[in-house]
Structure formats: C-alpha cells, structure tokens
Amino acid sequence: MSDFGLLSPDRTVRVLPALPASALPAPVARWAAGLAEAPDPVAAYGYLPDVAAARAAELRAALPAWAAVCFALKANGFAPVLDALGAVVDGFEVSSRRELAAARAAWGSRPEAPLLVSSGPAKSDALLDALLAAGGTVNVESPLELHRAAAAGRRAGRPAAVCVRVNPLDVPVAGDLTMGGAASPFGVPEEDVPALLDAARTLSEDLEVVGVHVHAASNVADAGDYAGYAAWVLDYATGLADAHRLALRIVDVGGGLGFDATGEAPFDLARLGRGLAALDPPPGVRMILEPGRWIAAPCGWYAAPIADVKPVRGRTFVVLRGGVNHFLLPASWDLPQPLAVVPIERWDARLPRPAVHGARATVAGELCTPEDTLVPDVDGVTARAGDVAVLPCAGAYGWEFGLHEFLGHPLAPRVVLERDVRRPSPALAAASPGDRS
C-alpha cells in the first residue's frame, strides 16, 4: 500500500466484476434512482440500520458470556444507526466528547449501564472528565496520559478506571493495518509497561489500573487467527496482572474482525466463538471486542450520479458527481470495492450521452486532483452519463472518514432507507442533508 493509498491510479487492487443493478436491495435501487430526479443531483449515503443491528446481535450470540461487544463509534456515527445498535451491543468505544454523547444517547433507557471505553493518543482533559462522569474506562496510551487520568480522578473525587494500551513487541496476527510491533503514537511500548505500572502505584489514590488493551491489527481475515490473538492478549494480561498485583477486570482486544466487501470470504463467527469458548479467563474478567467495520459496513451504500463517461488513451473513466471527499476508505486502504450502476432513462436529448458497454472502467470523482479515484478498475461496466453508480458496503468509515470541505463541493446527505420493498416510491426517509455527526 502507498503511504496514503491514493497517489497511483495504477496501484494493484483486485479487479471485481460490476454488479447488476438487480443485486441491490430494492429500497437501495429505488433510492439511488430517486437521486437522479433532483434538479442538481448530488451523491448521498443510504442506510438500513437494522442490518447493522442484526450483525451486532449475531456477533454477540457467537461469543461466550464473559465477552462483550463495544461498537467502535468512529466507524459510523449516524444517529439512526447508533440507535439500532444501542439495543443490542454491550457498549461503545469512543474517542471524543461528541462520540461519548452520541453513545449515551443511543443507549437510551436501557436499565444497565453501557460499557464505555476510550482510545486515542491525545485525549483532552474535557474528554477524560466526561468519560469518568459517565462511568467509562480510559485506555491510557502514555506516562503523561496516566498522570492526566489521575488528575481527572482527583477532580471527580474517585479513582479513574484505566486500562493500559500496550504496543506489543511482536504482533501475533496479520491484518490490512498493523498498530503494534513498530514505533507508533498508539499505546505504551511493551518494554515500558512495567515502569508505567510502577508509576501507577504512586497514583493509586486517584486511579486504578483495571485492565489491558491491545489493538494490534485491523481487518484480520482468519477467525482462527483472531481467536489465537485474543488468547495471546488474555495470557499477556493475566501474566502482567499476576506480576504487578493488578485487580484485572478488563482485557480489551480492540477491533479488527475481518470484513470482505465481495462476500466471497466471510469472517467465520462460529470459529471465533469456538476459539474464545476454549479460553479460561480469571473470574470477574471481561474480554471486550471493539468491532466497527465488520458490524456497520454492510448497512450503508454510497450512491453518486454519473456526470460523464470519458475514453482516454485506451482507458475509460466513469466520472461521478462525488468522490473521495465523500468516500475515501477504499482508496486509502487499497480495498476491492464492489460497484453497481442503476440505469436512468431520462436524459436531455439535446446533449450527447457518452457510455461504456460491458468494458473495464476506472471510477473517478469530481475533484480537481488525480488522487480522486474511488475504484481503480471494474470489469464489465455498462454505464451512461446520467445513470447512478452505487458502491455497497459503505456503512463504515464512509461519511465519517470523508474530506468534507475539500474544494467546497456539497456534502453527501445521509438518509435512512425505507424497508417496505412493495412501495414504488424512492426511499428517502429521515433525511439529514449536510448534517454533521
């Protein structure tokens, strides 16, 4: 992968065949077609929140009772999606006060308190205070942050509950991104953890170390490998607790459940469940998983009207009224991205209508930069100017990950799609044009 994943339109990414429009759920296809009816069509995000809730419930059911699911709110902060998830997850992983407020709102009136954990290498004092007031746990990432958490505990009048986020010397699992085993702003280097725990003992009136957090890799495809990684984190955490006399209550293994947008290699939840069920955590210890993309990606679609189709020196470019300012993830991670095209028959007959018929094409955006390539190559594309391109699996790190102000183009509205497939009307409910989570 390149440094930022965008610089070379010829980078190596798996080429997928274009999906037929009939592969889209009926509400999605109707909504996408409705976008073309606007006087000035722009791209948008459409969501089916129940899809995310069903996946979270499926994951929760596969895990042993001592494991918990805290949705990583950075993956999708859209309130209707969070409301659906709030009914089925055990809590949320948050990184800002706004995310914390959104998580608490999504939890609603459930009688039990949510599990709230917070990560990030530069937490503000305001976030620490708000998290402690909400009963959350701080994943401490440096010696200074340990002292700042203790200061928050003094201000709150009770010890702050903290986990030590560890950057391990070696990462025992492979994924698309690695957050351990090398120099990184994330976490405390494993070799420095004993000194940090010594410092924590001097602050024991104001903080309590209750756990260990390791988020070593993202998008781990093999469920057996992930279960082995979780076992490794549990062994490390219990050994650390024994050596330093910690009252261990939390072992947080982060996120990283593998998600395949093509659907060809689904993550094996049953295998993960069997692997975790074979573990024997100490009494009172809870293992936390922080999935984001695995839960939310399939609940969203990014749709953009096709502004032009351009043959250029042996290549064909399908140019969208949208771009990486809205949907950056596939380009930044070099991920294979499915594509479908919804045909729109209405067209101004006074204008030429360029098209591509069953050929390979590159899907680009409207930005004035060659970095705006959403999908480097798609096979078998049939598309015309005025049709609508739909990118599935855009429910995670989509709107939230965009470059919203770049070049000043319109924001992509976020909408909840209606679910009654018998209704012929475009699926536009709970519209939030230009809203900001």
Is the distance from CB of 119 to CB of 139 less than 8 angstroms? yes
pTM for the complete prediction?
0.90
What residue spans define the domains of the chain? 16-48+298-432, 50-296
Q: What is the pLDDT of residue 269?
A: 97
Q: What is the pLDDT of residue 180?
A: 55
pLDDT confidence band for 129 (50 / 70 / 90) = very high
Please state the rounded mean pLDDT for residues 229-237. Answer: 95
Q: How far apart are CA 292 and CA 387, in angstroms?
A: 31
Residue 210 tokens read as: 């209750």
Which of 87-91, 138-142, 167-171 shows the lowest mean pLDDT across its residues? 167-171
Q: How far apart are CA 21 and CA 18, in angstroms?
A: 9
Please state the rounded mean pLDDT for residues 139-155. Answer: 97
Architecture of domain 16-48+298-432: Beta Barrel (2.40)
Please state the rounded mean pLDDT for residues 54-74. Answer: 97
- Tell me: domain 50-296, CATH 3.20.20.10, correct? yes
pLDDT at 102 > cutoff 60: yes
Q: From the CA atom positions of the chain, what is the Rg in Å?
A: 23
Q: How far apart are CA 155 and CA 149, in angstroms?
A: 10
Please state the rounded mean pLDDT for residues 133-162. Answer: 97
Task: State the CB neighbour count (10 A cutoff) for residue 413.
Answer: 18
Is the distance from CB of 386 to CB of 305 less than 8 angstroms? yes
SS3 207: strand
What are the tens digits of pLDDT across the range 152-194? 999 999 999 999 999 998 876 655 556 555 677 888 999 999 9
Q: How far apart are CA 297 and CA 300, in angstroms?
A: 6
pLDDT at 11 > cutoff 70: no
Which of the pair, 431 or 314, is modelled with greater confidence?
Answer: 314
Picking from 380, 332, 265, 388, the residue whose alpha carbon sits closest to that of residue 16 is 380
Q: What is the pLDDT of residue 176?
A: 55
pLDDT at 433 > cutoff 60: no
Tokens 């909504």 correspond to: 31
pLDDT at 425 > cutoff 60: no
SS3 304: strand
Please state the rounded mean pLDDT for residues 218-243. Answer: 94
pLDDT at 4 > cutoff 60: no
Which of 134-138, 308-312, 424-428 shows the lowest mean pLDDT across its residues? 424-428
